Structure formats: structure tokens, C-alpha cells
Amino acid sequence: MTEARRLRVMIVDDEAPARSRMRDLLAECEPALALTVAGEAPSGRAALDLLSREPADVVLLDVRMPEMDGLELAQHLMRLEHPPAIVFATAYDDYAIRAFEVNAVDYLLKPIRLERLKEALTRAGSLPPRPEVLRGLSRAPRTHLSVQERGRIHLVPIGDVIYLKAELKYVSVRTAEREYLIEESLTRLEQEYGERFVRVHRNCLVARAAVRGFERSEVDGEAGWEVVLNGVDERIAVSRRQQHVVREFTRG
């Protein structure tokens, strides 16, 4: 490591005492490792906000946090232009620890030992977790979709999504307010969220909760169905192959 380049470390933990403990430990790493604390955040959302202003090389990430756990946040961080190295920290989480071991993802056990922290920071970045590994670590579907816009990550709560539509190499995410573009595959989103969405067309998943009803329509002289949605005026055509969805809904 060159003299000019100091390792920028960010702390993400929902518990204030845990953050302060981590700060103390980082201060003790100082003489041996050139590092600066780039900031600390009490939640995943705050961390993403902070990272858009203060880039970091390493993020020390608590696994169990409200709203969005560390495993999900890590997946969003991977979408940043320069994704930071991630070191997970957990007090006790059998499941996560086993998963970390299996996938050789770096993690720290709380209470954290100074030596282990130094080791992890020295190694940080040499073994970046692959996105599919991070996806595999998560026990539940992500609570948010992350959209990269002008160098920062924007979070869209999955509950706000009305439909997802595949468009060339993007998927457009429609909420009541606006539309976002994400670089993901519709098929994988369908797998991840399962019952939350229903496929009405080869290129479109509609949130079940947003379906208000169905109406007859005529396109190019062919009779079919359209989905009427809550929250947006648009209608979405139900493809011929997905007609069974209409029956499923109208039967209740």
C-alpha cells in the first residue's frame, strides 16, 4: 500500500455501541494500517446515501439490521460503479456463519478481536464476493430493488412496485410515482419474488396486490384481456398464453 493511499473504511451497524466499539478498534489499527473512517451508518439506506458522497474501499457490515439486512445491502453495494470490499460482522447467526464459511466470504464475530479486524482489513478486496454468492446468502427476497442513477443507488421498496416489464437489456420498474430502469433479468426476478408477482405476458410481471381487475379489449381485431391496475392508469395486455391468469383471479 502506498503512503498516499489510505484505506477508507465505512461502518454499518444499527446499534450505536457496536459502531463506537468498531471505531475504537479501527483507531487501534492505525499505526499498522493506513486507514480513515469514511463514515458510519445505522441502516442500509443511510449507508447507500453516505456512499454516494463518501466512497469507501471497505464496508464493515452488520448482518442483522432492521428494514434491510447486511446480506441484502451487500447485493445493492455490488451495483455501485466501484463496489467496496465487504466484511460482514455478526454476533451470532448460525446460518450466516455457515454460509460465509462455505463461500469463503470474510466475516468477523462480535465481540471483534483487534487481530482479526487487522487481518480482514489487510485482506479486504483480495477476495471480492461474487454477486451470485451474495444472492445465495440471502434467506429472503430483497426488500428493495436498487437502481443506479447518476452514480448513486436509489432504493425502490418492492411493495411499491406495480409491474416489472422487460425492455431490451433492461427491466423497467413501475411504481405509482415513476419508472426506473434496472439491469436484471425478468426471469430471475420472477424466481426471487415468486408469488408476489404474476406473469401476464412474456415480458411482464404484475404485482398481484396491484391488480384491480380485468377488461375485455380488442387489439388488431383480436379479442383479449387487459389488466386494470391500482395506482397507474396504464393497462397491460394479457397474452394469449397467459389467459389462465384471468380465470385464476376472477375465480377469487
CB of 124 to another protein, least distance (A): 21
Q: What is the H or E stretch that residue 168 is in?
A: none
**Nearest of 236, 249, 159, 181 to residue 204 by alpha carbon:** 236
> Between 8 and 21, whose beta carbon lies closer to another protein?
21
What is the C-alpha to C-alpha distance for residues 99 and 104, in angstroms, rounded to an integer?
A: 8
CB of 67 to another protein, least distance (A): 5
Beta bridge partners of 13: none
CB of 249 to another protein, least distance (A): 23
> Between 43 and 242, whose beta carbon lies closer to another protein?
43
**Nearest of 33, 32, 93 to residue 61 by alpha carbon:** 93
With CB under 8 A as the contact rule, the residue among 6, 8, 110, 196 that binds another protein is: 110
Which CA distances in Å does 40 have to 23, 27, 78, 141? 9, 14, 18, 26
Q: How many CB atoms lie within 10 A of CB 229?
A: 20
Helix-then-strand count for the chain, H and E:
8, 15
185 binds another protein (CB under 8 A): no
Q: Which of residues 64-103 bind another protein (CB under 8 A)?
A: 64, 66-67, 91-93
148 binds another protein (CB under 8 A): no
194 binds another protein (CB under 8 A): no
For 12, the grid coordinates are 454499518
Q: Which of residues 14-33 bind another protein (CB under 8 A)?
A: 14-18, 20-21, 24
CB of 154 to another protein, least distance (A): 18
> Between 6 and 110, whose beta carbon lies closer to another protein?
110
Compute how many residues bind another protein; rule: CB under 8 A. 19
> Between 112 and 245, whose beta carbon lies closer to another protein?
112
CB of 113 to another protein, least distance (A): 11
**Nearest of 38, 65, 67 to residue 53 by alpha carbon:** 38
Angle in degrees, CA 185, 188, 193, rounded to 5: 125
CB of 244 to another protein, least distance (A): 28
> Between 15 and 160, whose beta carbon lies closer to another protein?
15
Beta bridge partners of 36: 8
Please answer whether residues 37 and 85 qualify as being in contact, where contact means their C-beta atoms are separated by less than 8 angstroms.
no
* Interacting residues toward another protein by CB under 8 A: 14-18, 20-21, 24, 43, 64, 66-67, 91-93, 109-112
